[in-house]
């Protein structure tokens, strides 16, 4: 239950408690009055009847000394009060010892004549007032008041028990509120503060045993969710830092070898003045190759770092699919022929696509360069772009066709396949990591490649809302597929 419901309920009970107590008190008194009404009336009338006969004497209704009323005083006690008035309203006698009496005190005539012969009942007593006549002449009035002793005793008992019950109920309610405040607010907040401190100090965080879905539970759940997000962010930062350290170490290693070669050949050219023109040309060719390799490495690293940046913006343009892939797939037949590879190409593309053309060219170039480096002599390389409505090329390795068909989805897939040595299963996902080498040796250089080609291709496809995947099987070779979603609409910008 929500805490606000608990507190609103408690507040409502506290607000209604006085009204409920008054109503209950009224019901108790009404029930008591109904129980005692008849018997009490009979008892009062009997006691009044015994006194009335003594108050009929005419001498009592004259102004005289107080000793004359001693007999009347004996008729009164703590529960019976008697008052005598002369015909003109002057009070002659009262049995109440604490009542101020003076012979000159006169009762209001209208009040004196009101409710004659009526047995008046109020909360504390019964009262009967009657006139006294001497023949036909009015000589005075007497008023007898009888206290409701049993009634007052019952009222006192019920007041005590009701007060005790209300006090007990209030203590129970107070205890429940204190328990709820401690269990649902104070203790969880204290544990949450302890958990926050542990988390800030990167110590183990113990779970909080608070299972209810109240506001504190939502706060704890929100903190747990926030903590998971912070932990994920920390891990991402650590992973990024490890990647940066690895890239720096790899880059340092990859630059060290060509720099050593460049320095060695430069010193050789400087010292060896008798070298022939052919030797000098060979030395200069090696220097240029190593310089080109270093430039390629720096360019790829710059591109990789830029694409991994959160501020990198990739402008996407809507283009016709057939025109796009006809341009992307052209120009590789001669490259394969120069290396003695058989080249297979197929294109079946429809629809429009939102792409960054230069980056897509980079993807195809990187994949084709990898295929050329890892194809066995006289092997075949396949390059294709196929929309979802078209069949896969017949030259796709049978081992990959079923899984590729399930993975391709809608849009278009770009396929680059080569015949060569298979990539081990444990390395097929890691090949998209920067500078990854299957044999773990960085001394085996990649024929002038930076080792970032597949990583850059993966980032580019992700920035296009697509995906990239690799299949490799012994006895066949390797297939790399890039999935690009079809798009129709205005050009837009993607921010990584």
pLDDT of residue 327: 92
What is the reported pTM? Answer: 0.51
pLDDT digits (tens, 9 = 90+) for 68-110: 888 888 888 888 999 999 998 898 888 876 555 555 578 888 8
Q: Are the C-beta atoms of 128 and 29 separated by less than 8 Å? A: no
Confidence of residue 440 (pLDDT cuts 50, 70, 90): very low
Phi, psi dihedral angles at 318 (to 5 degrees): -80, 125
CATH number assigned to the domain with residue range 3-153, chosen from the 4 options 3.30.360.10, 3.30.450.20, 1.10.3720.10, 1.10.30.50: 3.30.450.20
pLDDT digits (tens, 9 = 90+) for 141-158: 999 999 888 878 888 888
Measured distance CA(258)–CA(390) in Å, rounded: 46
pLDDT digits (tens, 9 = 90+) for 166-204: 889 888 888 888 887 887 778 888 888 888 888 888 788
Token duo for residue 74: 């004996």
Cα dihedral 271, 277, 279, 281 sign: positive
- Average pLDDT in the 418-434 region? 85
Token duo for residue 231: 């932990």
Confidence of residue 442 (pLDDT cuts 50, 70, 90): very low
- The owner of tokens 């590729």 is 404
Tell whether domain 215-304 is in CATH 1.10.287.130.
Answer: yes
- pLDDT at 439 exceeding the cut of 70: no
pLDDT digits (tens, 9 = 90+) for 270-280: 777 677 778 77
- Average pLDDT in the 415-426 region? 90
Q: Are the C-beta atoms of 335 and 375 separated by less than 8 Å? A: no
pLDDT digits (tens, 9 = 90+) for 317-362: 899 989 999 999 988 888 888 888 999 999 999 989 999 898 899 8
- The owner of tokens 């001394």 is 443
Tell whether domain 313-495 is in CATH 3.30.565.10.
Answer: yes
Phi, psi dihedral angles at 149 (to 5 degrees): -65, -50
% of the chain surpassing 90 pLDDT: 21
Cα dihedral 40, 41, 46, 49 sign: positive
pLDDT of residue 482: 93
Q: Where are the domains of the chain?
A: 3-153, 215-304, 313-495
Phi, psi dihedral angles at 427 (to 5 degrees): -105, -5
- pLDDT at 374 exceeding the cut of 50: yes
- Average pLDDT in the 467-478 region? 92
How buried is 161 (Cβ within 10 angstroms: 0-12 exposed, 13-18 middle, 19+ buried)?
exposed
The DSSP bridge pattern shows strands 342-348 and 380-387 to be: parallel
Q: Are the C-beta atoms of 63 and 78 separated by less than 8 Å? A: no
- Residues in a beta bridge with 134: 137
Q: Give the Cβ contact number of residue 96 at 10 Å.
A: 12
- pLDDT at 290 exceeding the cut of 50: yes
Mean pLDDT, the chain, whole residue set = 82
Measured distance CA(360)–CA(382) in Å, rounded: 18
Per-residue H/E/C for the chain? CCHHHHHHHHHHHHHHHHHHHHHHHHHHHHHHHHHHHHHHHHHHHHHHHHHHHHHCCHHHHCCCCHHHHHHHHHHCCCCEEEEEEECCCEEEEECCCCCCCCCCCECCHHHHHCCCCCEEECCCEEEEEEEEEECCEEEEEEEEEEECHHHHHHHHHHHHHHHHHHHHHHHHHHHHHHHHHHHHHHHHHHHHHHHHHHHHCCCCCCCCCCCCCCHHHHHHHHHHHHHHHHHHHHHHHHHHHHHHHHHHHHHHHHHHHHHHHHHHHHHHHHHCCCCCHHHHHHHHHHHHHHHHHHHHHHHHHHHHHHHHCCCCEEECEEEEHHHHHHHHCCCCHHHHHHCCCEEEEEEECCCEEEECHHHHHHHHHHHHHHHHHHCCCCCEEEEEEEECCCCCCCCCCHHHHHHHHHHHCCCEEEEEEEECCCCCHHHCCHHHCCCCCCCCCCCCCCCCCCCCHHHHHHHHHHHCCCEEEEEEECCCEEEEEEEECCCCCCCCEEEC
């Amino acid at each position: 239950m929500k805490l606000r419901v608990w507190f609103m309920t408690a507040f409502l009970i506290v607000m209604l408690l006085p009204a409920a107590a008054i109503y209950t008190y009224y019901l108790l008194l009404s029930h008591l009055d109904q129980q005692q009404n008849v018997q009490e009336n009979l008892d009062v009338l009997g006691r009044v009847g015994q006194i009335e006969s003594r108050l009929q004497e005419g001498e009592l209704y004259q102004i005289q000394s107080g000793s004359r009323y001693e007999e009347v005083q004996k008729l009164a006690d703590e529960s019976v009060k008697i008052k005598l008035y002369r015909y003109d309203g002057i009070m002659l006698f009262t049995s109440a010892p604490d009542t101020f009496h003076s012979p000159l005190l006169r009762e209001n005539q209208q009040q004196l004549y009101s409710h004659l012969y009526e047995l008046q009942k109020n909360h504390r007593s019964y009262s009967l007032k009657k006139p006294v006549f001497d023949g036909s002449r009015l000589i005075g009035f007497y008023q007898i008041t009888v206290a409701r002793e049993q009634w007052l005793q019952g009222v006192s008992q019920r007041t005590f028990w009701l007060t005790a019950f209300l006090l007990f109920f209030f203590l129970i309610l107070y205890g429940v509120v204190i328990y709820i405040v401690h269990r649902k607010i104070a203790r969880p907040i204290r544990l949450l503060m302890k958990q926050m401190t542990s988390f800030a100090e990167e110590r183990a965080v113990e779970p909080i045993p608070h299972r209810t879905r109240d506001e504190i539970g939502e706060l704890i759940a929100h903190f747990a969710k926030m903590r998971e997000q912070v932990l994920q962010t920390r891990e991402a930062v650590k992973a990024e830092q490890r990647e940066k350290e690895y890239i720096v170490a790899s880059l340092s290693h990859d630059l060290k070898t060509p720099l050593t070669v460049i320095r060695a050949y430069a010193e050789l050219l400087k010292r060896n003045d008798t070298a022939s023109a052919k030797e000098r040309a060979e030395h200069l060719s090696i220097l240029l190759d190593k310089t080109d390799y270093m430039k390629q490495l720096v360019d790829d690293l710059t591109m990789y770092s830029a694409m991994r940046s959160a501020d990198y913006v990739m402008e996407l343009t809507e283009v016709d699919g057939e025109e796009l892939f006809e341009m992307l797939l052209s120009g590789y037949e001669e490259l394969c022929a120069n290396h003695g590879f058989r080249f297979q190409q197929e294109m079946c593309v429809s629809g429009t696509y939102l792409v960054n053309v230069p980056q897509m060219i980079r993807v195809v170039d990187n994949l084709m360069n990898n295929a050329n480096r890892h194809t066995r002599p006289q092997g075949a390389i396949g390059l294709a772009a196929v929309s979802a409505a078209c069949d896969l090329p017949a030259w796709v390795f049978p081992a990959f066709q079923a899984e590729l068909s399930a993975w391709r989805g809608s849009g278009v897939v770009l396929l680059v396949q080569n015949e060569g040595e298979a990539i081990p299963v444990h390395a097929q996902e890691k090949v998209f990591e920067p500078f990854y080498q299957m044999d773990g040796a960085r001394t085996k250089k990649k024929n002038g490649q930076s080792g970032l080609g597949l990583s850059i291709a993966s980032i580019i496809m992700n920035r296009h809302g697509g995906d990239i995947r690799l299949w490799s099987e012994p006895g066949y070779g390797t297939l790399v597929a890039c999935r690009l979603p079809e798009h129709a609409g205005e050009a837009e910008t993607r921010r990584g």
